Structure 1
Amino acid sequence: MGNPAQDTVRKRRRAFLGATSGHLIEWYDYGVYGFLAVYIGQAFFVSDDPTTSLLASFAAFALSFFIRPLGGLFFGPLADKIGRRKTLIMALVMMSGSTVLLGLLPTYASLGIAAPILLILVRCVQGFSAGGEIGTVTSFISEYAGPGRRGFATCWLMVTAVLGLLLGGAVANGMTWVLGAEVMQDWAWRVPFLIAAPLGFISMYIRLKLEDSPEFLALQRAGQTSRAPLREVWQWKRAIALVFFIITLHSSIFYLVLTFASTYMAKILKFDSGTTLLYVFVASFSAAFVMPFGGAFTDKYGRKPFLMVIGTLATLAMFWLFKMAPTATPATFFAPLMAVAILFGLYASSTYALMSELLPTRIRSTGIAVAYNVPVAVFGGSAPLISTWLIKVTGDITSPWYFYVATGVVSLIALVVLRKEDFVASGSPQVAPAGAALA
C-alpha cells in the first residue's frame, strides 16, 4: 500500500505543475504580443503615423482585457459548479487555440479592413479564456495548498506569469536579433504565436491527469456546491470590493514593469534596444525571484501589514521612476526601475493568496473572477494605452505618474479598511458572515 502522506505530496506537486504550466502559456501570449506590438500595429493598423499604429495595437491589447470579465462571468461559476479541473482544461484549449490562430491571420495588406477586425476578435477570445482561467487556477492552487501555505503556493502563479511574459519576450526579441526588423515585419512575427501549439499540448496532457482540489471535492461529496454562484457571490459584496481595490495596484505595476517599461525606454527615452531588453529582463527576473520570499513571509507574519508597507514604497517608487525621466540616462534609470520591479514582486507575491482567503470555497472561483478581472482590465491591460495617451495629449513624458500613483493610493485605502474578520477560515461555514455585504 502507498504512503498516504507521500500520495498527497505527489498530487499537490502534480496539481501545481498542471496549473502553472497553463498559466505560463497564457502569459507567454501576452508577452509575445507586448514585445511585437510595433510589428503587429504596422501589419494590421496601417497609418502614416507610427505612434497611431502603436496606439491601435495597444488598444487591441487592452480590448482583450476588457473582455476578461465576461470570461470570468462564464468560467468562474462553471468552476464552482462542475469543478476546477474541467474548467481549467476548457480555458486552456481556448487560450492555446486562439494564440495559434493569431499567428495565422492575414494582414491588412492582403485582407484590408477585415484583418484588424479578425485580430480584435481573436484577442477577445484570448481575453475571454484568460478571464476564466484566473479565478479557477487561483482557487485550485490555494485549495490544494491549504492554510499556512497559500502565500508561498499561489505566488508561483505570479512567478510563472512573469516567466511566461519573459519567455514570450525572449522568443520575440531573439528572433528580431537573428532575423532583423524587416523579416520580422514581413512574416516572422507569426512564429512566436505558433509556438503556443506544442506548449499547449504539453500543458493539456498534464491537466488531463489531475484530480480536482480536495476542498472542492469535499464540498461536492457533502452536496454543498453552489447551484447559483453568480447570484450567491453578491452576498460577499465587501470581500468583492476589497479584492477589486487591492488588485488595482497589483494590475498597474505589473504591466508597468512587464509591458510599458520597454516601450517607454525605447520610444520615449530613446535607449538603445540592447539596454532596453537587458533592463526589462533583469527587472522582471528580480521581481520573480523575490516572490517566493514574499509569499512565505506573509504565510508566517500576515498579509495586511506587509502589503501596506510594500504598497506604500511601490507607489513612491513609481513616482520616482517617472519624475526623473526627463534627465534619465541608462545609468540613472536603472535604480528606480529596479526599485519598482522588486516592490512589484513583493506586493504581487501574496495578493492571490489574499483573494482566496477573503472568499469561501463554494463561490471562490466566481468571486475572484468577478473582483479580479475588472481592475486588471481597467488599470492593467489598459495601462500602456493610458500612459501613451497621457504623454501624447500633455506632451509631458512624466505624466504617466498621475495614473500609476492613483492606483497605488486606491489600493492602500482598501488595505487600511481590511479587517481580520474579513478573512474566511478554512473549514468555516460557507455562508456570508454578518457585515459581509456593503451597505
Structure 2
Amino acid sequence: MSEPGNATPAVREADTKTVRRAVSGAAMGNAIEWYDYGVYGYLATVIKQVFFPEASPAAGTILVFAGIAIPFILRPLGGIVLGPLGDRFGRRQVLALTILLMSGSTFCVGLIPSYTTIGIWAPILLLFFRLVQGFSTGGEYGGAATFIAEYAPDRKRGFWGSFLEFGTLGGTILGAVLATVVQLGFDEQTLQSWGWRIPFLVAGPLGLIGFWLRNKLEDTPCFQQAETEGKTTTSPFKEVLTNVWPQILQLIGFVVLLNVADYILLTYMPTYLTQVLGISDTESLLVLIGVMVVMMALIAPVGSLSDRVGRKPLLLAAAIGYLVLAVPAFLLMGMKAVFPVVVGLVIVGGLLLLMLGTIGSALPAMFPTRNRYGGFSIGYSTSTAAFGGTAPLIVSALIAGTGNDLIPAFYLMGAAVIAIVPILVMPETARVSLAHPTRIPGTDKFVPDRTPAMAGAAAADKGERAEH
C-alpha cells in the first residue's frame, strides 16, 4: 500500500472517446482470430474435400481439426516471445504486429491451391499458415486484454473488458455467416473450386482496418506512466519467471475451463450438431448464431455486474454450473428436436457467458504493470495450447472411438474440476487499481494496490448511497 503522505500519483484516466477507440482496436484482433475459427469450423466439410480428399470421412474430420490443434504448439512460443516484448517496448507496437500476422495468415489460406492441383503441398501450406497464426495469437489475446484493462477506468473495467469477448462472438458469427452464405450460394463444384476462398480472403481487409485502429492510439496510460517513472522492465522474460509464476499457474488452471468451453461451443459445435447428432446444416447454423447473438447482447451487462458483485462469484458460478449441468445440457441436445437443442445450447452458452464477460477485467489485474503482458500471454497461451485448441480434436476422436455422444459434457466437467481451485485462490480485483501493485510480505505474489484515488471514489460511492 502507499505510505501516508507519500501516495503514489494516480494514473491519468483517458476520456471516454479514447477508451472506446482503444477497446475497438483491441477487440478487432480478437474478432479476426475467432473469425478465422468460425470460417474454418463452418467450412470443415469443404476443407476436408479440398485438402484431404483421399482420407476417410472420420480421418478427414480429425485431420481438419488437427489444423486447429497443431498450430497451438506454437502459441506458447508466441506468448514467450511477444508477451515480454510488450512489457519491454509497449503494448501498441506488438499488437500492431500480431494483427497483421493473424489476418495475413488467414488471407493466405484462401490463396492455397487444392490437393488435386499441387498434391501434398496443399495441406503442408495449410499447416504452415496456421502455424504462423498460432504463433501470432500467442501474443494477441494477452496484449489485447492488457490494452483494454489499462485504458479502462478502474471502476468500469469489467464493463469495458467485456467487449474483448464481444469481439470473439462477433468474429465467430461473421465467420459462420459468410461460410454459410458461400455454401448456400454456390453449387458444390464452384464451392470446392474457389467459393470457399472468399471468407478467408475477407480477413485481409479486416486486418488492415484493425491495424489502422491500433496504430492511431498512444500506448496505455499505465504503461506510459511506468515508462515516465522508469519502472518498465529491461529483462521481461526473466522477471516473469521469477516474480509472477504463482499467478501464471493460477491463470493456467482457470483458463483450462474457459478454453474447453470456448472451443467446444464456438468451433466444434457445428460439427457435433450436424455430423454426430445428424441435425441439418441450416438448423444448426440458425440455432448457434441465435445463441451467440444473445450472448453478444448480454456480455456487457455481465461485465458491469462483475464491477458490482466481483469477478470471483461469476467465475465460480460458471465452473460449478458446468460441473452440474453439462450432462443435462448435452442430453437435451441429444433429443435432436429444436427446442431441447436450443435449451441445451443456452445452458452451455450461458455458463460460458459468465466467464467471457469477466475474464477481460479479472485476468490482467492478476499481474503488475511491468510484467502484465508477458505473464498473461505466457500463462494464457500455454493453457490454451494444451487444452483449448486441442479440445475439438480430442472430443471428435473420443466420440469416434467410443461412440459416446456425451464426451463433450464429460470433458467440460473435467475442466470445471480443474478450474475451481484457482478461482478460489485468485485475488478479487473488482474496483482495484491496475497501476500500483505491491508484493505481499513474505511471498512472491503481487496484488494490485488501492490508490488514494480509488479510496476516494469508494467513499464517494458510499456517500451517494447514503443520500439515497
Normalised to the residue count of structure 1, the TM-score between the two structures is 0.94
In structure 1, the residue matched to 2:79 is 72
Distance (Å, rounded) in 1 between the aligned partners of 2:108 and 2:325: 39
CA change 1:146–1:330 in 2 (3 A) is same
Corresponding position of 1:293: 301
Q: Does 2:313 match 1:316? A: no
1:371 correspondence with 2:395? no
- Correspondence list, 1:88-127, <5 A: 88-127=95-134
Q: Which of residues 354, 357, 363 in structure 2 aligns to 1:355?
A: 363
Seen in structure 2, the aligned counterparts of structure 1 residues 206 and 419 have a Cα distance that, compared at 3 Å, is closer
What are the superposed Cα offsets for residues 29-76 of structure 1, whole Å, 9 maximum, x if unpaired?
121111112211221123341121111010011112232111111110
- Given that residues 80 and 366 in structure 1 are in contact (C-alpha distance below 8 angstroms), is that contact kept between their aligned partners in structure 2? yes
Residue identity in the other structure for 1:349: G
What secondary structure is seen at the aligned counterpart in 2 of 1:332? helix
Equivalence for 2:344: 336
In structure 1, C-alpha distance between the alignment counterparts of 2:428 and 2:25, rounded to whole Å: 32
- What is the match of residue 400 of structure 2? 392
Q: Residue 171 of structure 2 corresponds to which residue in structure 1?
A: 164
Q: What corresponds to 1:38 in structure 2?
A: 45
2:183 corresponds, among 154, 176, 189, to: 176
Equivalent residues of 2:86, 2:373 under 8 A apart: yes
**Which residue does 2:462 correspond to in 1?**
none
Indicate conservation of the 8 Å contact 1:359/1:423, yes or no. no
Please state if 1:418 is matched with 2:405: no
User: Which of residues 284, 289, 295 is equivalent to 2:292?
Assistant: 284
Instruction: Give the conservation status (yes or no) of the 8 Å contact 2:65–2:392.
Output: yes
Pairing 1:263–2:271 present = yes
- 1:12 correspondence with 2:19: yes
Is 1:58–2:104 an aligned residue pair?
A: no
| CA RMSD across the alignment | 2.1
Q: Any conservation in 1 of the 2:13–2:151 contact (CA below 8 Å)?
A: no
Spell out, residue by residue over 1:352-404, the C-alpha distance to the aligned partner (whole angstroms, 9 max, x if none): 21111110110100011111112222222111111111111112222232211
Contact 2:76 2:378 in 1 (8 A): yes
Letter of the structure 1 residue corresponding to residue 288 of structure 2: V
Q: Label 1:434 to 1:154 Cα distance change in 2 as closer, same or farther (>3 A).
A: farther
Residue of structure 2 aligned with 1:380, choices 374, 385, 388: 388
Question: Which residue, 125, 129, 144 being the options, matches 2:136?
Answer: 129
- Residue 420 of structure 1 deviates from its aligned partner by 4.9
| Whole-angstrom CA distance in 1 between matches of 2:283 and 2:169 | 19
Q: Which deviations, in whole Å up to 9, do the C-alpha atoms of 1:145-203 show, x marking residues without a partner?
A: 03222211111010111110110110010111111333222221111111112212222
Q: CA deviation at 1:23?
A: 2.4
Partner of 2:205: 198
- Contact 1:357–1:423 (CA under 8 A) maintained in structure 2: no
| Cα shift at 1:303 | 1.1
2:279 counterpart SS class = coil
State the AA in 2 paired with 1:408: A
Q: Distance in 1 between matches of 2:375 and 2:13?
A: 32
Structure 1 letter corresponding to 2:394 = I
Query: What is the percent sequence identity of the aligned residues?
Result: 34
Contact 2:38–2:175 under 8 Å retained in 1: yes
Residue aligned with 2:214, SS: helix
Query: Partner letter of residue 199 of structure 1?
Result: L
- Offset at 1:8? 2.3
**Structure 1 residues 112, 432: CA separation in 2 closer, same or farther (over 3 Å shift)?**
farther
Aligned-partner residue type, residue 348 of structure 2: V
CA distance in 1 between counterparts of 2:271 and 2:372 reads 36
| Alignment partners' CA distance in 1, 2:71 and 2:55 | 25
**Distance between the aligned counterparts of 2:107 and 2:334, measured in 1?**
40
TM-score (norm. length: structure 2): 0.88
1:422 deviation in Å?
12
Q: Judging changes above 3 Å, is the alpha-carbon distance between structure 1 residues 222 and 391 closer, same or farther for their aligned structure 2 residues? A: same
Secondary structure at 1:125's aligned position in 2? helix
One-letter amino acid of the structure 1 residue matched with residue 398 of structure 2: L
Distance 1:336 1:433 in 2: 47
Partner Cα separation in structure 1 for residue 441 and residue 39 of structure 2: 44
- Matched residue, 1:145: 152
Question: How many pairs align?
Answer: 434
Letter in 1 for 2:442: A
Alpha-carbon deviation of 1:106?
A: 1.5
Q: Is the 8 A contact 1:283 1:341 kept in 2?
A: yes
Following the alignment from structure 2 to structure 1, what is the Cα–Cα distance between the partners of residues 236 and 441?
A: 16
Q: Is the 8 A contact 1:290 1:342 kept in 2?
A: no
The alpha-carbon distance between structure 1 residues 419 and 39, as it changes in their structure 2 partners (threshold 3 A), is same
Task: Check if 1:219 corresponds to 2:226.
Answer: yes
Work out whether residues 143 and 373 of structure 2, in 8 Å CA contact, stay in contact via their aligned partners in 1. yes
